[in-house]
Amino acid sequence: MLRVARVKKSVFIKSGSDEEKIFSEHRNLEKLIKKHLSPITASIFAIPTILENNDEIEWSSELKGQPVKLSSLSKDEQPQAKKLLNDRLSAITRLADELPQQTPGIETLKQALHYPGDDAVYVINGQPVITFWGIGGKTNSTAISPGSIIPAVNEAQKTRKIPHYLSILAWLALIALLAFLLWYWFSKNPVNWQDYNPFVDEYQQLVDEVDGAGNDCLALDTIYQNNILLQRPDEKFSLIKQQLEDKLAICKAYSQLLKLIEQAKDDCLKLKKILENNKYLQAPKGMFIELKQQLKNDIQLCEYHKLKSKIQFAANNCVELNNILQNNAYLQSPEGLFIELKDQLKNDIQLCEYNKLKAEIQSASDHCAELKNILNNNQYLQNPQGNFVELRQQLENSINLCAEYQALKNRIEAASDDCTLLKTIAKDNQQLQQAERMFVELKQKTVKLIKRCEDYQVLENTIKQAGKDCKKLEQIAQENDYLQNAKGKFVDLKRQLDKQRIPCEKKKIEELVNLCPGQRPKKLAPELVVVFDASGSMQYPAEVTPRLKSLVNQMEHAQRSGNPFGVITLGIALNAELSKYGVQQSRMYAAKKAVSSLVPKIPSDMNTGLVVLKQCSRAQKYRFYAPNERTQFLNAINRLSPTQGTPLGSGLSIAGQMVDGVKKPATIIVISDGEESCNANPCAIARRLAKNKPYLTINVVDILGTGAGNCLARATKKGKVYTARSMRDIIKMTEQAASSAIPKHCKK
C-alpha cells in the first residue's frame, strides 16, 4: 500500500463538523464502482485512515509510483492529468445517474463526487487520486471539480423562474409520451423480462464478444479491426481495447515463438534455451500450455537424433560409448524411442569391447604377463558369453604357448656362454625346428648366441697370440665389434685386452711429446698452461742488491708483526730504493718478455692456457688459447701489472683442472718469485694432481731461487725447478721449463 499524504482534518473540514463520516464508506464505494466500472476508475478515491489523535488523516492508494500534487505538476503535465480526472468523474457521474435510486450506496457515490479542489488531488504514475472526497470546499478552490455531476448556476438563471403549475404539467405530458412509446415498442418487440437487464449495454456486449473469442487470434483480430465501439473515448471502452491489444500481443508472441521454434528445429541447445527463457513458457496459460508440451516433444526428438549420431560417431571408441550409456540423461530411465536406442547401444558396446579385446590379445601375443593380466582382469572374460567364450579359449592357448616360450627362452639365456649346450638345444627343440610366431625370433637369437660363443673363443685365442705386440693389440681393440660394447663374458675379455695394452698406451702417450704436428692426432697434442705470478713483489728488480734485499726483508717482517709505523717508514725507504731502477728492470717485465719469447716456439697444434696469481683468495683463470689466438694470449699477459698476494695453491689447482694429463701429456709452467701467501697448501695440491694425472709435468721457474716451488716440481715424475737470478735467466729458464712439451726438432 502506497502512502499518498498525511493531512490535518482542519485543512479541509470545519472544526466540530462530522463530514468525515463518509470516509468509513470507502470499501462499499469502491465495491460499487468496480461492479460497474473498471478497477482503475475506482482507484480515483484515495483510501482514508483517521489517525489516533483524530486530528490527522493518512491517505493511501493501491497504485504504484511517486505521488505528486496536481497543482505541483508543470503546465505541460497538468492538462493531461486534469483531462483524465474529468473523464473518470464523468464516468462515475453517468453511473450515478443510471443506477436506480434504491441502489445501496448511491447516495455515497453522489456525495463522493464533491472534493475541495486541485490541492486535494494527487497524481501517481499519471493516474489522478482524490483526497478528502465527499467534502465541500473550505479552501478558495471550487467546491465541486470540473465535470462534477453538480453543475454551476449563473446569475441569469437565478432571476428567471418558471411558474410551478407549468412545470408540473410539462412533466406529466412528458411521462404520458414516454409511456405511449414504451407500450408501442414492447407490443412490437416482446421482451423476456426474466433475461432483461437494463444495464447490459453495448459495453457488456463487447466484453462478451471478446470473452467468447477466447484465444482465437483470428477472431480477436477481427473484433479489433471491425468493432467501432473500440473507437469510443470512454474509459471503459479504452480499457477493453487495451485488453484486446494485450491479447493480440500475446497472439503475436505466440506466432513469433512458433517461428522461433521452427527456426531452431534441429538445434537442441537453442530449443532448450527457448523452453528455459521464454516468459510465456514458464507458467504457461491457454495456447502456450500445448505449445510447451509440443516443444518438449521436439527437444526429446532432437536429443534422440543427436544421441544416435553421437553413438554412430563413437562406434569403435568403447570408452566413449560407455560414457554415453552411463551419463546421458535420456538413457538412465529411457522412454519411447530411447528404450530401443539404449538396447542398440549396449550391443554396440559389447561388439566394440570384443574387437578391442581381440586386438589387445593379438598385440600381447608374445608377452606372457600381459596375456595373464588380460585373462584375470577383463570383465568380459570372467563369465564369457557369445563370442567371448571362443576368445577366452584362444587366450588360454596363447598363455600356455607363451609359458613354453618363456621356459625355452630362460634355458637358452642360461646357456648363452656354453656353445655345446646351445647347439644341443637348437638341434633337439621341436618349437625351434618349426619356428612359428614368437619362436621365430627365439630361433634367430639362438643362432646369434651360438655364433657369439664361437666368436668369443676365436677372439680369446687371437688376444693370447698377440702377446705384447702393441700394433696387433691396438688393431683388435679398434676393429672388434664385441669389444666396442662389451657384454657378458666379453667384458672380462676386454679387461684382459686393456691390461695387455697398458704398457703400449703408456709408451704411446709418452711419445706424443716427441712428435711434431702432423705426426700425432691433433686431439692428442700435449697441453701447456702458464701460471703467471702478478703479485706485488714482481715489481722489484730482477737482480736484487744487498740493501734492497734487506729493506724487503724488513718490510715483510714489519707487515707480519703488525707494526704500522715500521711499515710506513720502511715503505718510504723501499720506494726510494726502487726509484733507482727502471720498469724494464722489474721481474714482471722479465717474465712477460720470457713468455713472449716462448710463444713462437710452441707447436702449431697445441693450445696454451693462462692462470694469473693476482690476489687472495683465488687465482684468476683466463682460458685456453687456440694456436690462432696467441696474439690475444700475449696481449692478456702484457696487460698485467703487479697487485697483491700470491695464491699459488689456487692457481695450481685451476691449472690442473684445465689440463688432461691422463690420455695425453700436459705441462704446467709456474713463473713466480715467492711462496704461497693466501693460506693454501700448494704442495698437497700438486701431489693430488700428480696422483690423478699420471702424464702431468709441473715445472717451476723460481725467480731469485726462493725454493718455494720445489715441492711442486718434485710431486710429478719429470717435474723440475729452474732457478733464475737475473732477467736473462728468467727468459732462458722459462724456455727450458717448456721443453718437456716442445720438441726441439719441430718446425712449428
Q: Which are the contacts of 747, defined by CB distance < 8 A and separation ≥ 6?
A: 516
pLDDT at 223: 87
**Confidence category of residue 87, pLDDT binned at 50, 70, 90:** confident
Summarize pLDDT for 540-553 with one digit per residue, the tens.
776 666 666 676 66
Query: Which residue pairs from 207-213 have beta carbons closer than 8 angstroms and sit at least 24 positions apart in sequence?
Result: 207/240, 210/240, 210/243, 210/244, 210/247
pLDDT of residue 667: 93
Residues 664 and 695: their CA atoms lie apart, in Å, by 7
Model pLDDT, residue 567: 67
How sure is the predictor about 44, in pLDDT bands with cuts at 50, 70 and 90? very high
DSSP letters along 478-537, please? HH-HHHHT--THHHHHHHHHHHHHHHHHHHHHHHHTTPPBTTB-GGG--EEEEEEE-SGG
At residue 201, the pLDDT reads 63
Instruction: Read off the pLDDT of each residue in 504-525 and give the average, rounded to a whole number.
Output: 82
Distances (CA, A) of 672 to 130, 457, 733: 119, 58, 12
Spatial contact of 231 and 254, defined as CB atoms under 8 Å apart: no
Q: How confident is the prediction for the chain on average, in pLDDT?
A: 83
pLDDT band at 61 (very low <50, low <70, confident <90, very high): very high
For residue 676, with 0-12 CB atoms within 10 Å meaning exposed, 13-18 middle and 19 or more buried, which class applies?
A: buried
Q: Which residues pair with 517 in a beta bridge?
A: 520
pLDDT tens for residues 207-225?
A: 877 877 777 788 888 888 8
Residue in the block written with cell 700438486:
686
What percent of the chain has a predicted confidence (pLDDT) above 90? 22
Residue type, 628: N
Alpha-carbon span 530 to 611, nearest angstrom: 6
At residue 658, the pLDDT reads 93
pLDDT in tens, 170-189: 777 778 777 777 666 555 54
Q: Are 644 and 536 in contact (CB under 8 A)?
A: yes
pLDDT, one tens digit per residue, over 398-447 is 888 888 888 888 888 888 878 888 889 888 888 888 777 778 888 888 88
Cell of 720: 723440475
Per-residue pLDDT of 341-386, as tens digits, reads 999 988 888 888 889 888 888 888 778 888 889 889 888 888 888 8
Confidence at residue 491, expressed as pLDDT on a 0 to 100 scale: 86
pLDDT at 182: 64
C-alpha cell at 245: 491489444
The winner for highest mean pLDDT among 41-50, 163-172, 564-573 is 41-50
User: Cβ neighbours of residue 131 under 8 Å, at least 6 residues apart?
Assistant: 4, 5, 7, 46, 48, 57, 59, 115, 120, 121, 122
Q: What is the mean pLDDT of residues 278-302?
A: 88
Amino acid at position 303, single letter:
E
**The pLDDT value given to residue 147:** 33
Alpha carbon distance 591, 729 (integer Å): 10
Q: Is the pLDDT of residue 535 over 80?
A: yes
Give the contacts of 243 (CB within 8 A, at least 6 positions apart): 210
- 66 touches 18 (CB < 8 A): no
Identify the pLDDT of residue 350.
86
**pLDDT of the residue at 144:** 34
> What distance in Å separates the CA atoms of residue 609 and residue 631, rounded to the nearest whole number?
13
155 pLDDT more than 60: no
Q: What is the mean pLDDT of residues 63-67?
A: 85
